[in-house]
Structure 1
Amino acid sequence: MQSLALALYFLAVFTGLVNALAIPIRRISIPTSERPVISVGKRHYEARQESSTTSTSIIFEPSGFVVTLRPKPTETASTTTTSTTSTSTATSTTSTSTSTTPTSSQQPQQTPPADGSKKWVVAHHMVGNTFPYKKEDWLEDVKLAHESGIDGFALNTGRDEWEPDRIADAYQAALESKLDFKLFLSLDMASLPCNSAENAQYLRKLVLAHVDHPNQLKYDNRAFVSTFAGENCQFGQGGVEYAWKTQFTQHPELQGKIYFVPSFFIDPARFGSFNGVMDGDFNWNSGWPIKVTTNFAKDLLNEVANRVKEESQRGGLLRKPLNQVLSTASAGGDSAEAELQEALSKFIGSTDTDTEHLNALKALSASLGKRDGEEVKPVYMAAVSPWFFTHYGANSFNKNFIFLSDQHLYSKRWESIINSRDQLDIVQVLTWNDYGESHYIGPIKGDQPDSESWTDGMDHTAWLGLTKYYATAFKTGQFPTIEKDQIYMWSRPHSATAQSPDPVPQPTNFELTEDAVWAVVLTTAPAKVTLTTSNNPDANSQKTFDVPAGVSKLSIPITPGGIMKGVIERDGKVVVELAPTPEQFTFQGSPKNYNFNAFVASAVAN
């Protein structure tokens, strides 16, 4: 009996360790044509995408050109948005060229919305990556996020039994910070089970533990709660809408206490059927142009090629790799290539999906009015994200693809959001620490979900400076004064077409990426900006731009062996220089592993 008891004891200890160390991989919603079956822990599911039928137009921005966002020249209030075109002169060390380029003068509404509601910017924090966290780690995250213009964390929580303790630490750290920093739960229904009434009871317990905490985000005097997915949950009730209503939002334990804004991956036309469930909508997929896949781009290329009159030119265009076509366009190539690039650029930072969801929320507004006895405006929470790359093989989590993040996605999406701020209530940055999908803006710390091969040495905290600038504009309705010259630069670590012995192949949609260094500069006054991608620069690897005061988006091609360097000069003097060492960044031609993550760096004037 003693031997049996001892064996059972060690089995229990081993099982506890396995459960404690398990790091969940969250589901994402991806295009229908790219639907792998993804494994989350022991659960399997098929990723989905809601349909979108609208379209928009966004300016074309080739690499080597400059797009400038100018600050508001006066303090006069304005309720209109304008776009203008200006002429910029781009010169290199070996040649001089002048080009007329699109200039984005997108300005946010200059006064707060008439209803007086507060705008919020929050960041998605993966609790599943915080197993080794102590309260001090949470305190560091809270302070850094607050300094970066972020008002709170959406705490993504899954089924691991240790996560409630980390959540409690997060709330306590926020309280001890003495900052106006809010938290709310984002129930990860790709991880949390939702097959029975007992599962719903567990969710209610999670929410009730913090519903009255001083740092709980409140909306309409209710605790704000969100989800990732959950559109298939039935809690043993036989219907999704009925299940969420009876077992969660209108259950006696929670009724009147929560403001529920889930991210359900459903056709927005169904929103109206969630009467008594949804108080708003979080549009997770709005952070990336997920419609733009390799197949989508090839279809556009075929349409462009069909308009080319000469058969030889048409055939040559179709025989080129897609990446080469896009790179040729960015370098100022043939009009056919440029036409394809322009067609794809319309989706970078687009608000098409926001418009679709906002229109659908009108039906939910009527339902909310009936429920509460007064006119209620549903909350709309938009997403913004700087990047997306995940690289798990079929023998792991079977997630290996990118979403198009080139052409200054982060800045353009923010600018679109700011222009639409009167329709948006909350912006959620995706994410603070999701290393598995490469869209983290916080420091690399805690646990990683086997993502070290593409995150080691790939710090993203430089993006926090841009986050603060744009978040401030969204919340206040006015771009902040640029008090110091700043430069932000990023690039992938190797060529898009590089070959590697990596057993996991190139990610789906890799053909969409360009071999380029992307830069955003914030200047206090007109200046010259020089970008360099070679130790022996020529006209292709060094370009100088004359930029006005404000925000300018620049780019330059890069080839294997290339470096990253940016300099801001004014009156013949260097005011900012950014030059990562070769050990920190050298563009590879033959990488050990495929890595479509971004290396990000920044420099600020003293």
Structure 2
Amino acid sequence: MARFVALVLALAQAAAALALPLDARSSSPKLVFAHHIVGNTFTYTQDTWTNDILLAASKGIDAFALNIGPDSWELGQVSSAFAAAESLSANTTFKLFISFDMSVFPCSQASHASTIQQYIQQFAGHPNQLQVSGRPFVSTFSGESCTFGTGSVNQGWTNVVRTSGLNAYFVPSFFVDPATFGSYPVADGVFGWNSGWPTGNFNITFDPDQSYIANLGGRAYMAAASAWFFTHYSPQTFDKNFIYRGDDWLLAQRWEALIAHRDAVDFVEVNTWNDYGESHYVGPIEGVQPASQAWVDGFDHTAWLDLIAHYITAFKTGAPAPITRDRTFLWARLAPANANAPADTVGRPANWQWTSDALWAIIQLTSPATVTLTCGPSALTAPLPAGTSKLRLALVAECDVASSVTRGGQSVAFKPEGMHFSTAPAAYNFNAFVVASP
């Protein structure tokens, strides 16, 4: 454990050296956050928070958005997170802010405002509270119907974040028509939660972001970045069983668009660090899962963090991130979309037709090389230039994934353990299996 902390601490210090301090960027920030579900941290200790913060900071992430609900124990975990961040303040400028999950917080009466205000007040002056324009940053998931006993949503939130000595920098995720943003002058910006993935059978574009930006009137825009979405709950539990389309290297394409439009994007929030139930986690599998073990256990996603770190550098600096070693990033579903799994009574997820059976590869090379991808009868060999390239390999039969990089007569093979495509799966698991070469 000590060696792990020392290694990640060194990486965090290196990442910090590449970026300006938060205070220097506050007037025109280019910051990246990760959405952290506090509801999944019941068993966390301060050391767990320390490890999460060190890992995130080493990848260029500036802050955790602490998604909280009304459960009383969550306050203790938020306090533990802030204590962990403060204990590392000599080594990293990592910050935290609260993102209130208004899908579970009551918000129809004036008395409901006090719990939210108390959270903001308790941490507003903490040295690790994210400050933008000298004000504590506060966000939400939902909240577009909250009036807190007033005559309008705008007045309700004004009473929450602009009274009792509070002057929060408020960037909510309201699920409303962007054309109505003018009705919410209380918002200093808006978070486009669903901008990180296509919600239909089409490739992701920047068009939804453009709609947000065009209607914000110069206020801040926070975009989402994600790599996957799959949830598989029965009607007897959370009754959510569907996918969003993650094909065509979603993670890479999303970050490339954000980099191309970086002048119009103030903040990016990675969705998410640990939402296991919806399969878009990029942090370690730890804490308490929300009954998602059937599709999460054995499907580590932390390899995506290194790829995200590459794009974060480019987003912050406006220049391509240097590639210092050859890397191969691979991800795929491990069964055909139309395969049958009769023992899985939850059933095949909705929108399953939106995804193709393919291995998605991002190849980073320090100099030109020939790259080969194989899985059973499927094989692809391509000469690739230095830099970052994308490859796609169709998965058509039972097989094990393998790849190789060949340069100057020398070949380096990568055979990821457990990356087996099965045509007879035991369950409908549309989660991504993610690996990266050493």
Higher alpha-carbon Rg: 1
Give the whole-Å Cα distance in 2 for the aligned partners of 1:115 and 1:175. Answer: 20
Task: Report the secondary structure of 1:478's partner residue.
Answer: coil
Equivalent position of 2:130 in the other structure: 217
Query: Is 1:590 matched up with 2:427?
Result: no
Equivalent position of 1:251 in the other structure: 163
Give the whole-Å Cα distance in 1 for the aligned partners of 2:106 and 2:48. Answer: 28
Task: Give identity over the alignment, percent.
Answer: 47
Query: Is 1:268 matched up with 2:105?
Result: no
**TM-fit CA distance, 1:399:** 0.6
Equivalent position of 1:446 in the other structure: 287
C-alpha contact (below 8 Å) 1:495/1:515 kept by paired residues: yes
Q: Deviations over 1:128-152 (max 9, x none)?
A: 0000000000000000001112111
Query: Is 1:228 matched up with 2:141?
Result: yes
Give the whole-Å Cα distance in 1 for the aligned partners of 2:410 and 2:102. Answer: 55
Gaps of 5+ in 1: 1-113, 294-343, 363-376
Equivalent position of 1:61 in the other structure: none
Query: Is 1:279 matched up with 2:113?
Result: no
| 2:190 partner letter | D
Gaps of 5+ in 2: 1-24
C-alpha contact (below 8 Å) 1:118/1:425 kept by paired residues: yes
Equivalent position of 1:579 in the other structure: 415
| 2:426 partner letter | K
Equivalent position of 1:132 in the other structure: 43
Distance 1:237 1:116, change over 3 A: closer
Matches within 5 A, 1:110-509: 117-178=28-89, 179-246=92-159, 248-254=160-166, 257-275=167-185, 277-290=186-199, 292-293=200-201, 344=202, 347-348=203-204, 350-362=205-217, 377-501=218-342, 502-509=344-351
Equivalent position of 1:330 in the other structure: none
C-alpha contact (below 8 Å) 2:117/2:161 kept by paired residues: no
**TM-fit CA distance, 1:115:** 10
| 1:580 partner letter | P
TM-score, structure 2 normalization: 0.92
Give 1:552's match in structure 2, choosing from 366, 373, 389.
389
C-alpha contact (below 8 Å) 1:204/1:253 kept by paired residues: no
Give the whole-Å Cα distance in 2 for the aligned partners of 1:168 and 1:578. Answer: 42
Query: Is 1:569 matched up with 2:410?
Result: no
| 2:192 partner letter | N
| 1:553 partner letter | K
Equivalent position of 2:5 in the other structure: none
**TM-fit CA distance, 1:238:** 3.5
Give 1:517's match in structure 2, choosing from 348, 351, 359.
359
Give the whole-Å Cα distance in 2 for the aligned partners of 1:253 and 1:215. Answer: 20
Give the whole-Å Cα distance in 2 for the aligned partners of 1:379 and 1:220. Answer: 12
| 2:259 partner letter | I
**TM-fit CA distance, 1:533:** 0.6
Task: Report the secondary structure of 1:140's partner residue.
Answer: helix
Give the whole-Å Cα distance in 1 for the aligned partners of 2:153 and 2:33. Answer: 28
Structure 1 stretch displaced more, 512-521 or 191-200: 191-200
Structure 1 stretch displaced more, 558-567 or 469-478: 558-567
C-alpha contact (below 8 Å) 1:494/1:560 kept by paired residues: no
| 2:46 partner letter | K
C-alpha contact (below 8 Å) 1:462/1:600 kept by paired residues: yes
C-alpha contact (below 8 Å) 2:27/2:132 kept by paired residues: no
Give the whole-Å Cα distance in 2 for the aligned partners of 1:461 and 1:510. Answer: 25
Task: Report the secondary structure of 1:414's partner residue.
Answer: helix
| 1:431 partner letter | T
C-alpha contact (below 8 Å) 2:46/2:80 kept by paired residues: yes
Where relative contact order (Cα < 8 A, 6+ residues apart) is larger, the structure is 1
C-alpha contact (below 8 Å) 1:432/1:441 kept by paired residues: yes
Task: Report the secondary structure of 1:124's partner residue.
Answer: strand
C-alpha contact (below 8 Å) 1:261/1:280 kept by paired residues: yes
C-alpha contact (below 8 Å) 1:383/1:430 kept by paired residues: yes
**TM-fit CA distance, 1:116:** 6.6
Give the whole-Å Cα distance in 1 for the aligned partners of 2:347 and 2:36. Answer: 29
The number of aligned residues is 411
Give the whole-Å Cα distance in 2 for the aligned partners of 1:116 and 1:131. Answer: 36
C-alpha contact (below 8 Å) 2:49/2:84 kept by paired residues: yes
Give the whole-Å Cα distance in 2 for the aligned partners of 1:138 and 1:157. Answer: 15
Give the whole-Å Cα distance in 2 for the aligned partners of 1:449 and 1:565. Answer: 33
Q: Deviations over 1:394-423 (max 9, x none)?
A: 111111110000110000010000000011
**TM-fit CA distance, 1:455:** 0.3
TM-score, structure 1 normalization: 0.67
Give the whole-Å Cα distance in 2 for the aligned partners of 1:413 and 1:124. Answer: 17
Give the whole-Å Cα distance in 2 for the aligned partners of 1:162 and 1:496. Answer: 40
**TM-fit CA distance, 1:231:** 0.5
C-alpha contact (below 8 Å) 1:260/1:280 kept by paired residues: yes
Runs of 4+ in 1 over 3 A off after TM superposition: none
| 1:506 partner letter | R
Give the whole-Å Cα distance in 1 for the aligned partners of 2:379 and 2:111. Answer: 62
Task: Report the secondary structure of 2:123's partner residue.
Answer: coil
C-alpha contact (below 8 Å) 2:403/2:414 kept by paired residues: yes
C-alpha contact (below 8 Å) 2:162/2:168 kept by paired residues: no
| 1:486 partner letter | R
Give the whole-Å Cα distance in 1 for the aligned partners of 2:402 and 2:262. Answer: 34
C-alpha root-mean-square deviation of aligned residues, in Å? 1.3
